[in-house]
């Protein structure tokens, strides 16, 4: 997708966020906004590239080809073959090294937070109830576990989300539980 930041109706930033909820299709943002903060925002919310106007059309064609080549070779893989790396958009968990990164930035999690996030990422798109999460992580029956799980989820969101109030990855399914959005 090639998106302009200043589109009528739904702007390019909100469009990118909306697309990232369900797809990992390559997105290139075109914009007259050339400030570093604008570029950083565009890339942090899920764009794969950011080109400022005016631009050379041949450069745009080359960048489109590059994004398509990467997308078709790597595709929509959640797990890299032969390793314990789980990806969901810009969120990556390396279960061999126990490292979590978001947009290539290392995130520090407690062991419980890590295990909850790993459970959800391994099962991207699947909704887990609070009781299911508690029983999986603590290996005991969930009796009054609501607050315990909710606090850990809040801490995970504060660490992995740009805006925890509008999460890109860790979503609540009201009345049911939590899930990691398939990217």
d(CA 72, CA 114) in angstroms, rounded, equals 30
User: Is residue 168 within 8 Å of 22, Cβ to Cβ?
Assistant: no
User: Is residue 178 within 8 Å of 171, Cβ to Cβ?
Assistant: yes
Biggest CA–CA distance in the chain, Å, is: 62
pLDDT in tens, the chain (183 residues): 999 988 888 888 888 888 887 777 889 999 888 888 888 888 888 888 999 999 999 999 988 888 887 777 655 554 444 568 888 888 999 988 889 999 889 999 999 999 999 999 988 889 999 999 999 888 888 787 778 898 999 999 999 998 888 888 999 988 889 999 877
- Domains for the chain: give ranges and CATH numbers: 2-74 (3.40.50.2300), 85-180 (1.10.10.10)
DSSP characters over 8-30: SSS-HHHHHHHHHTT-----EEE
Q: pTM score, two decimals?
A: 0.55
Alpha-carbon distances, residue 125 vs 63, 104, 174 (angstroms): 30, 22, 15
């Amino acid at each position: 997708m090639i998106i302009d930041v200043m589109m009528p109706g739904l702007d390019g930033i909100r469009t990118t966020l909306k697309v990232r909820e369900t797809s990992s299709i390559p997105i290139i943002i075109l914009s007259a906004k050339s400030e570093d903060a604008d570029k950083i925002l565009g890339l942090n919310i899920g764009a794969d590239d950011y080109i400022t106007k005016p631009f050379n059309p041949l450069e745009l064609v080359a960048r489109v080809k590059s994004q398509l080549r990467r997308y078709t070779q790597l595709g929509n893989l959640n797990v890299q073959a032969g390793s314990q790396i789980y990806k969901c958009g810009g969120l990556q968990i390396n279960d061999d090294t126990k490292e979590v990164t978001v947009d290539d930035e290392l995130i520090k999690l407690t062991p419980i937070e890590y295990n909850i996030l790993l459970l959800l990422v391994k099962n991207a798109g699947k909704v887990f109830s609070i009781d299911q999460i508690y029983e999986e992580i603590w290996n005991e029956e969930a009796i009054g576990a609501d607050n315990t799980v909710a606090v850990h989820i809040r801490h995970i969101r504060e660490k992995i989300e740009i805006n925890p109030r509008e999460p890109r990855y860790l979503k609540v399914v009201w009345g049911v539980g939590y899930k990691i959005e398939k990217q």
